Structure 1
Amino acid sequence: MSSVAGPMMTVMYAFTGRKVVLIMAIAQVIVRSVALVLVQMFFLCRLGRFVSCRVLFIFSNSVVIIGYIITYPFPFSSNPMQPFNETTRTGCSSQIYSCCDTQLAVNIIPFVVIMIITNSFALPSAALSLDTIYSKMIGKIDQDLIQSVFVIAVDIIQIIGPIYGAEVFSSVGLNLIHIINGSVYILGTIVWLMAWRWIRPY
């Protein structure tokens, strides 16, 4: 989360490094606390027995999609990015970013709130529900290989994600990131709905 959001705040809102660190620290505390409670509810309180994992997964995906829509820099909810300040070394420099004159920055409050909600609830609950479903599907066989593949996939995403986000943001701005990521989640949701009856027993 902090690997991309922090630098974006410095560029879009001209926040100083100290302010970004403070915002991200508070956000991380909230995110980790909520995520920890969610995991405990799944494994200690057996939340998966009371909440349908296939419903939770699609609900979590929907939250992420709505988050991308809310934080998309529409003209009515956004402002121009802050110009580069030589003194504080913050803001958008046209020498580095080609989109400084055209890119809008959504209001910081929904940006941070959505970031916290998606990272503390939506993404962890989607991962937990997906993990629960495929664990039930493969049954009592050795799950080490599947779990390893799952962990490796997550690690690859965490490595490639910030690089992809930084490169796209530097080249064309935030809009395309929202469109690409939102489209991926919409596609995933459609595939999930297509398999709805098939995964019903799990």
Structure 2
Amino acid sequence: MELSNGKVAPSDANGNVEKKSQNEEKTDWRAVYIASLVAFLGAIENTIVGISEMAYMTTIDPLTTTQFFGVATSISKGGHAVFCLVFAIWAHKTRSVRVPLIFGRLLAFSACVLYIFVEFLPYGRRYLMGFCYLLFAIASSSSIILRAYIVQVSSHNDRLRACSGFAAAQLLSVVAGPICQLIFAWIKYPGYSLLPNIRFHIYSAPVWVAASSNFISIAIIVYCLHEVMQKKTKLKKNDDDSFYSLQSLATKIREVRQKDLPWALIFLCWIEKMLSSLTLVSLQTLTTPLLMTSFGWDGNFTVQVLSGAMLLVGILAILIAVAFAVFKSVTKIPQRYLLLFSLTMFLLLYFLTYPYPIVSSTIPEYNATTKGGCNTAEYAWCEGAGTTSPWLFLPIIIGIMGIAFPLAMIALDTIYSKVLGKINQSVMQGAFIVADDVMQVCGPVYTT
């Protein structure tokens, strides 16, 4: 049997290939850790900006509506989906990971600068902020290169551990972002004036941190992240990174067509992926305006509360991931039961947060100064509407996001891979990601 490095694996007297070979490439754990660190630094800015997006936009541009915010979010997600392919092809054609990654970080830095200077505009600030969201999304799409990089520097036997470390780095950003936001929570808007129309406050201060992290990330990419694709004259024939070869992609499509796959179950998995993503997109898009509308909170207080909530969500998600990595007894639970449990929690979310008379109070009127409360000019249902107590609403949201979503992700990914069976799954896994991207694009428009 020919190995991916062109050598022949040793076999026994019967011609069977031995399971272990000295010629097998070893995992470069240093490269795995460096790539995970770069991914962590790149994901922080998204969690930092994401918490205060809606609150900041409504504060500096009174004409902002939830519909506009939904459209801006949808466009940014569409840009992310498109440029994931662009960065993947770029890295494949140039055999380089450094150049595309550095370009992504420079693009993110440019978005941070525009975000800081947004108050220079006398009007229409929401449009510049929407453009910044698009730049942030495009910059974050460069992280797809790191996924391929992890595959290349890890052996087949260590692939699961390497990918788990990469995922853990991204989960840590969910915790680091809110912590950074909470550090500056005491600087109320409009904060301190550094230069005319350049202010340092609860909304902009974390962006300065995100801008600085890009320089750290670039330094790590230049001096610590070594190239691996340039050292290879051809891609590995039997490795996951062959997905990025257009020729092998066409071959895989033909192979998939020739397989007798359970398309009904595959389609069902796609639907489940889209539905679970819709719940997450709904919460991400509507939580900020819902808190400000239902409880009458101003932007400053809303950001503080959401930062604390996201911190708890990140901790719960990390605990779930660690449990699956450490405790073997957890992995023995059938995945379909875990998915069913998660879907049940999604369903209970809507029932438990409904404003029943016994646990609700009248929704506050709109306050033009704080931008909190329900505006009858925008929503006809404001008058006489009720709202669930925040002491009940927020714990339910934290529990659903911190427990149900990681469980659904782990269970559904496992079920989907088992449904596909013993085929090269790269194309079908790509289709699975596209199903998620479709909802990321359509979801914000639908929910708002």
TM range (shorter): 0.7 to 0.9
Please give the residue correspondences for 1:16-165 in structure 2 after superposition, counting only pairs within 5 Å: 16-43=298-325, 45=327, 49-165=331-447
Q: Measured at CA, do residues 159 and 47 of structure 1 come closer, stay the same or move farther in structure 2, by a change above 3 Å?
A: farther
The residue type paired with residue 127 of structure 1 is M
Letter of the 2:314 counterpart: R
- Say if 2:316 and 2:402, in contact at 8 Å, map to a contact too: yes
Distance in 2 between residues matched to 1:102 and 1:109, nearest whole Å? 21
CA distance in 2, matches of 1:116, 1:107: 14
Counterpart AA for 1:113: P
Change (3 A) 1:42 1:139: farther
Report the secondary structure of 1:129's partner residue. Answer: helix
CA distance in 2, matches of 1:46, 1:62: 24
Give the drift of 1:13: 0.6
In structure 1, C-alpha distance between the alignment counterparts of 2:385 and 2:433, rounded to whole Å: 35
Within 1, Cα distance between the matches of 2:284 and 2:404?
Answer: 17
Measure, in 2, the Cα distance between the counterparts of 1:139 and 1:64: 28
8 Å contact from structure 2 (residues 285, 447) kept in 1: no
Deviation at 1:45, TM superposition (A): 4.5
- Matched ranges for 1:166-177 at <5 A: 166=448
Q: Larger Rg: 1 or 2?
A: 2
Instruction: Tell whether the 8 Å contact from 1:41 to 1:47 is kept in structure 2 after alignment.
Output: no
Distance 1:49 1:87, change over 3 A: closer
What is the TM-score with the length of structure 1 in the denominator?
0.74
Give the direction of change, closer, same or farther, for the CA distance of 1:102–1:157 in structure 2 (3 Å limit).
farther
Task: List alignment gaps of at least 5 residues for structure 1.
Answer: 167-202
Following the alignment from structure 1 to structure 2, what is the Cα–Cα distance between the partners of residues 162 and 47? 38
Matched to 1:38, the amino acid is I
2:293 counterpart of 1:11: yes
User: 1:131-188: CA deviations, max 9, x gaps?
Assistant: 101212222312222222222222222332232222xxxxxxxxxxxxxxxxxxxxxx
Provide closer, same or farther for how the CA distance between residues 148 and 45 of structure 1 changes in structure 2, counting only shifts above 3 A.
farther
Q: Give the 3-state SS of the residue equivalent to 2:408 in structure 1.
A: helix
Structure 2 distance, partners of 1:141, 1:48, is 27
Aligned length: 166
Cα gap change, 1:21 to 1:163, in 2 (>3 Å): same
- SS of aligned partner of 2:372: coil
For residues 308 and 395 of structure 2, what CA distance do their matches in structure 1 show? 11
Structure 1 residues 157 and 54: CA distance shift in structure 2, 3 A: same
Distance 1:48 1:143 in 2: 25
Aligned sequence identity (%):
30
| Shift, 1:46, TM fit | 5.2
**CA–CA separation in structure 2 for the residues paired with 1:29 and 1:143:** 35
Q: Which runs of 5+ in 2 are unaligned?
A: 1-282
Q: Kindly indicate whether the alpha-carbon contact (under 8 Å) linking 2:338 and 2:411 is maintained by their aligned counterparts in 1.
A: yes
Say which SS state the counterpart of residue 364 (structure 2) adopts. Answer: coil
CA distance in 2, matches of 1:138, 1:47: 25
CA distance in 2, matches of 1:74, 1:105: 8
Cα distance change, pair 63–32 in 1 and its aligned pair in 2 (3 A): same
CA contact (8 A) 1:42 1:48 kept: yes
Change (3 A) 1:152 1:44: farther
Secondary structure, counterpart of 1:79 in structure 2 = strand
Larger relative contact order (Cα-Cα within 8 Å, sequence gap ≥ 6): 1
CA drift at 1:86:
2.0
RMSD: 1.9
